[in-house]
Amino acid sequence: MTDNPAVRVRGLRKAYGKLTALDGIDLDVAQGEVLALLGPNGAGKTTTVEILAGHRDRDAGEVAVLGRDPGRADLAWRAELGIVLQGSADLGELTVRESVHHFARYFPRPRDPDEVIALVGLTGKAGARIRTLSGGQRRRLDVAVGVVGRPRLLFLDEPTTGFDPQARRLFWDLVRSLAGRYGTTILLTTHYLDEAEALADRLVVIAGGRVVAEGAPATLGGRAAVRACVRWADGQQDTDDPAALVADLTRRYAGTVPGLTVTRPSLEDVYLDLIGEHR
């Protein structure tokens, strides 16, 4: 973690009446990092994003986003953020081009709207009214609106809910482009573990209003250290050194080992274990 993170949170708390949504969250997001926030429904993911974006007050805790407290930040600070929430404004009678040009005027140094439309793959739909777009195209437009202001930090809250598989993969390419080409810091919330594994540098799991684990997708919850299960036609064995066992089996069978598989717990296995009773 850098000395100047894009997001730094300590002891974040938020309650709605008797319901505690966030119970002392600590969180850091490095400049240029793609971080995925995971957790079951009601874990506090959206509440966290809304507080970080300055859309909701917190009850307690220290929060700094791009060096400022979201609760007291000004319009210049807001211009550094891009936000794609689960719901979007109904601008169905505007065209794609009209919508992106409209939102570009809110920012002091926006990207060229037509360049942004091309970036999200909607050039062919630039003249189409928003109400005629598919769900995937509408979500890509939401991202265009979110990035037209040239944000340093982009919040994506459940961005691919309802997408078909092809639309999700196209959206993943877009997120990778924003992170890789522009160096945009991205905080992503998602229920799709394959999406988190494909896009995120680091994962943070929230359950019961608390952070229960964090780490790279390959190592979350000690995933990389768990013994591998080697199976073949005549048996199976758990081992810390699957490569050595496979080499031994190859010698034993004088070549290809019939029915050979080597598996470790999937990210889904680890995640479900981490959230436990909060599912």
Sheet holding 210-215, edge to edge: 81-84, 153-157, 185-189, 34-38, 202-207, 210-215
User: 58-97 pLDDT, tens per residue?
Assistant: 999 999 999 999 999 898 999 999 998 876 656 778 999 9
Mean pLDDT across the chain: 90
CATH number for the region 7-214 comes to 3.40.50.300
Q: Residue ranges per domain, the chain? A: 7-214, 221-278
Q: Per-residue DSSP letters for 201-246?
A: SEEEEEETTEEEEEE-TTTGGGGGGSPEEEEETTEEEEES-HHHHH
Q: Tell how far CA 113 is from the center of its chain.
A: 25
Residue 31 and residue 179 in contact, taking contact as beta carbons nearer than 8 Å: no
Question: For residue 94, which amino acid is it?
Answer: L
Please report which confidence band the pLDDT of residue 240 belongs to, taking 50, 70 and 90 as the band edges: confident
* Other CB atoms within 10 A of residue 201 CB: 15
Question: Average pLDDT for residues 230-256, to the nearest whole number?
Answer: 91
Predicted pLDDT of residue 58: 96
User: 178-226 pLDDT, tens per residue?
Assistant: 899 889 999 999 989 999 999 999 999 999 899 999 999 988 888 777 7
Residue 115 and residue 94 in contact, taking contact as beta carbons nearer than 8 Å: no
Predicted pLDDT of residue 185: 96
Predicted pLDDT of residue 153: 96
The residue ranking higher by pLDDT, 279 or 166, is 166
Predicted pLDDT of residue 162: 73
**Strand 235-239 to strand 228-232: parallel, antiparallel, or no bridges (unpaired)?**
antiparallel
Please report which confidence band the pLDDT of residue 279 belongs to, taking 50, 70 and 90 as the band edges: low
Round to whole Å and give the CA distance between 18 and 227: 42
Predicted pLDDT of residue 107: 92
Q: Tell how far CA 203 is from the center of its chain.
A: 8
Predicted pLDDT of residue 225: 75
Round to whole Å and give the CA distance between 152 and 185: 6
Predicted pLDDT of residue 90: 65
As given in the structure block, the two tokens for residue 274 are 């981490």
Beta bridge partners of 136: none
Round to whole Å and give the CA distance between 124 and 116: 13
Round to whole Å and give the CA distance between 70 and 143: 22
